[in-house]
Amino acid sequence: MTALAATARYELRMQLRKPAIWIATGLPFALYALFAVLGDDPTGLQRYHYETSPKVWMVDALGWFTPVLPMVFGIVLADRLVRDRKLGVAELLDITPTSRTARLVGKYLGACAATAVPVALLYLGVAVAFMVWRDRPAALRWGLATFTVIVLPLLLLAGSLSFLGPRLMPTPLFRVLIIGIWFWAGATEVESEFPSFAGTLLSLTMDYPLGVFFASPNATTGPAGVALDFLRPQPTTGTAVLSLALILGLAAAILGAARALNARTSE
Amino acid sequence: MSLWRHEVRRAGWAALLTPMAAAVGLVLVAADGAIRLDQPNRGTALVLQSLLELALPLAAGMGAANLVGRDPVVELQLTLPTAYRTTILRRLAVTAGWVALIALTTATSMVASGWWHRWPEAHPAVAGQLTWLAPTLCLCGLGLLAGALSGSPAVASIVVACVWVFEYAAMGPMQQQRWSRLLYLFATTRGTVEADWTANRLTLLAAGAAMTSAGWLLLRRPSRLLTKEAE
């Protein structure tokens, strides 16, 4: 337990000192703000300007930004696990009386927590700004709810992917592949003829929790009459919880695979 | 020649495999569209054009972003008579050249098999090569510049990925002003004002050349990189 906590704490503090973690949140947010400024037609983000509901701001407007997070953090965290081996630290740590699993899980939790810090600050900043601007303290509650239900599962999934991927392939290849995965599981249209995870229980745009818990108009849920429709059940509280459980379960399974691979290749 | 062979090996199979994987992936999507769905040719031909304009430039840009900061013993590199930036530029040429080879092969096969013209908005075969050339050079320049500025492949990769995704998502807003139309990376497959296409391609080529030169200038003092950790 001590090893887990110590590794997590060390990883968190080390990551927070790296500019990459902050750039990975700041740059997409700056581009998102640019997107908001550029789109001056009524369908653009301009419509949120007159919106006074904190829910619309914290869930729907920021909802255009959060799906990018698993991609950027997948890229940033890609070297975490392989780096220890490359630098020769892994062998050194192996001879300490700590469990390898505890160290891996600690590193994972620390890295994920580090990616959550800048995003949490950003949510807090937007919520406080909205609170002051519109005098609606409920923005803080909506911000906290979206951050917990939507953002955290995405970060946990991105973290586990970036722990497994670079064990299977060179890091630069993984960095391109994660854009492909992100595109396929999040950014494609549900109606596209090629089978994709868009609008499913496993979509990276978190359609089911977004649609059911937050009644977001951005969410696409329910059967669409295309391939993989068994992953698109009717949106209910049950299926939304199932979607969250599947995403967290997938993250755990991927981390488990990374652990198994890590144990095998280090012998 | 042996130097170039070495650089190809140094770039590694990661750099060589990435555009191949992208090409094979999208050709499979196109084949799926053509065979399984019995889809009209137009959609399938657009997938192939997207391979040229979206996927291959991304692979090239990410390759360029991973050039600076991956040498384990950069101190040793800096003692060589060849300037480090010359080595980096040679690797950039290998990375971009390989993508160009794949793109040219794909485009030639498309023209020869008739798939090029099955997409009605396709440009004439020769000038149409700018479909992949302009965004590839632009993203390569961006990747090199971001790498030279940050010294970190992770940061440079994020820059390339974010710009790519932003341009993909902001198709509508980017069409509204002329300056943003000129800087739009995917003007062939995701639309622009027809009269702006050539100007857009030339702007992208110029931007790519400018960013590559800026990266080259920044790498003049590679000792800056010594404080960074190798990845």
pLDDT tens digits for range A201-210: 888 888 899 9
Predicted local distance difference test score (pLDDT) of residue A158: 93
CA distance A179 to A163: 16
Question: Would you state the structure tokens that stand for residue B86, as one six-digit string?
Answer: 């010359």
Report the distance separating Cα B101 and Cα B97, nearest Å. 6
> A28 CB near a chain B CB, below 8 Å?
yes
User: DSSP 3-state assignment of B139?
Assistant: helix
Give the phi and the psi of residue A61 in degrees, each rounded to 5.
Answer: -70, -45
Are B173 and A38 within 8 A, CB to CB? yes
- Quick one: tokens of A151? 């953002």
Q: Å from B45 to nearest chain A CA?
A: 14
CA A186 to chain CA centroid, Å, is 11
The closest CB to that of B152, out of A20, A169, A180, belongs to A20
Alpha helix (H) residue ranges in chain A: 2-16, 19-38, 54-55, 69-76, 80-86, 89-94, 100-134, 138-146, 152-168, 171-182, 207-214, 237-265
Is-contact A78 B154, C-beta < 8 A?
yes
Assess whether pLDDT exceeds 80 at residue A181.
Answer: yes
Residues in contact with A175: Cβ distance below 8 Å, sequence separation at least 6, in sequence order: A74, A75, A78, B62, B66, B157, B161
- Measured between beta carbons, the chain A residues lying within 8 angstroms of B174 are 38
B4 and B90 Cβ atoms separated by less than 8 Å: yes
Q: Does A43 touch chain B (CB under 8 A)?
A: yes
Chain A interface includes B41 (CB < 8 A): no
Q: Do A171 and B14 touch (CB under 8 A)?
A: yes
| A172 vs B14, B155, B163: nearest CB | B14
Question: CB contact, 8 Å: B183 with chain A?
Answer: no
Question: Is B163 in Cβ contact with A43 (below 8 Å)?
Answer: no
| pLDDT tens by residue, B193-206 | 778 889 999 999 99
pLDDT the model gives residue A223: 83
Half-sphere exposure of residue A204: CA atoms within 13 angstroms, side-chain side = 30
Interchain CB contact of B35 with A (< 8 Å): no
Minimal CA separation from A112 to chain B, in Å: 16
For A191, A203, B96, B103, B168, the CA distances from B25, given in Å and listed in that order, are 19, 20, 19, 14, 19
For residue B180, the chain A residues in CB contact (below 8 A) are 38
How many CB pairs lie under 8 A apart between chains A and B?
112
Residues B144 and B92 sit within 8 Å (Cβ to Cβ): yes
The closest CB to that of B15, out of A31, A172, A177, belongs to: A172
Band (pLDDT 50/70/90 cuts) for residue A267 is very low
Q: With an 8 Å Cβ cutoff, is A26 touching chain B? A: no
Share above pLDDT 90 across residues of chain A, in percent, rounded to a whole number:
33
State how far the Cα of B21 lies from the Cα of A218, in Å rounded to an integer.
Answer: 32
- What string of pLDDT tens digits covers the 231 residues of chain B? 788 888 777 776 777 788 888 888 888 877 777 777 665 677 778 888 888 888 899 999 999 998 887 777 777 878 888 888 888 899 899 989 999 999 999 999 888 888 888 887 888 888 888 989 999 999 999 999 999 998 888 899 999 999 998 888 888 778 888 888 888 999 888 877 778 889 999 999 999 999 999 999 998 877 777 765 545
